[in-house]
Amino acid sequence: MTTQGLLALVGGGEWRPGCDFDARLLEASGSTEVLVLPTAAAYEHPERAVEFAARWFEGLGATVRGLPVLRRPDAENETYVKAVAEARFIYLGGGSPLHLRSVLKSSSLWRALLAAWQGGAVLAASSAGAMVLTDPMVDPRGGAFTLGLGLVGQLAVIPHADSWSHEKSRRTITLAPADLPVVAIDERTAIVLEPGTGWTTAGAGQARVWLNGAEATLDALPA
């Protein structure tokens, strides 16, 4: 029997003031270490993302371990897979959702991540990470839809909702398949799924849900 951990889908702007939900996630993990995967930022100085996370979590009394899973072979590296399997708090940072998907899809590391979360580890994913964990996934190239990794099915995420253009957001909402909830999440904001409780919003901004072209509530999201 699995005991699913907390899941946080973050709208971007991670590891900054306003992300007060990180303290809650850290406490729920029962650990003082956060395993950060800067995979989506592989071509955008991933080491800087890890350093940024380390400074943020230091203020919360925790340490950060960066795991340089940057290319497809890295997702089959036994040392990295073991680190994910043993982690109690895993954080996927932002960057390119398409690169993140290509690295993780059907990999040993992805299977280890799923097993860790289903076994009670806390999982947070920001921007590209939040997009990829759903299926279908919003395609950042135009706002339509493509395949995601499907940790959460029948849900799509628009990150950086407070800075996306109105035209792009409306296109995504209009193109959404019937009965697919689309949640637009502001930066420094998360929707958090707690087993047995459902989804809640936390952080500095808001999350708006759209279903069949009309605004809905978090109750429309799959739990």
Q: What does DSSP say about strands 33-37 and 63-66: parallel, antiparallel, or unpaired?
A: parallel
Structural domain including 49 reads 7-220
What is the number of helices (H) and of strands (E) in the chain? 7, 15
In this prediction, residue 2 carries a pLDDT of 53
Q: Which token pair is 181?
A: 């909830």
pLDDT tens-digit map of 116-138: 999 999 999 999 999 999 999 99
> Which residue has better confidence, 178 or 1?
178
What's the rounded mean pLDDT across residues 145-169?
91
pLDDT tens-digit map of 19-30: 999 999 999 999
In this prediction, residue 3 carries a pLDDT of 78
Residue 35 is given by DSSP the state: E
d(CA 60, CA 29): 13
What's the rounded mean pLDDT across residues 208-212?
96
In this prediction, residue 184 carries a pLDDT of 96
pLDDT tens-digit map of 34-65: 999 999 999 999 999 999 999 999 999 999 99
In this prediction, residue 1 carries a pLDDT of 40
pLDDT tens-digit map of 76-93: 999 999 999 999 999 999
77 located within any domain: yes
91 located within any domain: yes
17 located within any domain: yes
26 located within any domain: yes
Query: Residue 167 belongs to a domain with what CATH number?
Result: 3.40.50.880
1 located within any domain: no
2 located within any domain: no
What radius of gyration do the chain's Cα atoms show? 16
182 located within any domain: yes
> Model-level pTM?
0.96
Q: How many domains does the chain have?
A: 1
155 located within any domain: yes
In this prediction, residue 167 carries a pLDDT of 80
> Which residue has better confidence, 138 or 3?
138
What's the rounded mean pLDDT across residues 175-186?
96
d(CA 46, CA 48): 5
**Mean pLDDT over each residue of the chain, to the nearest integer:** 95
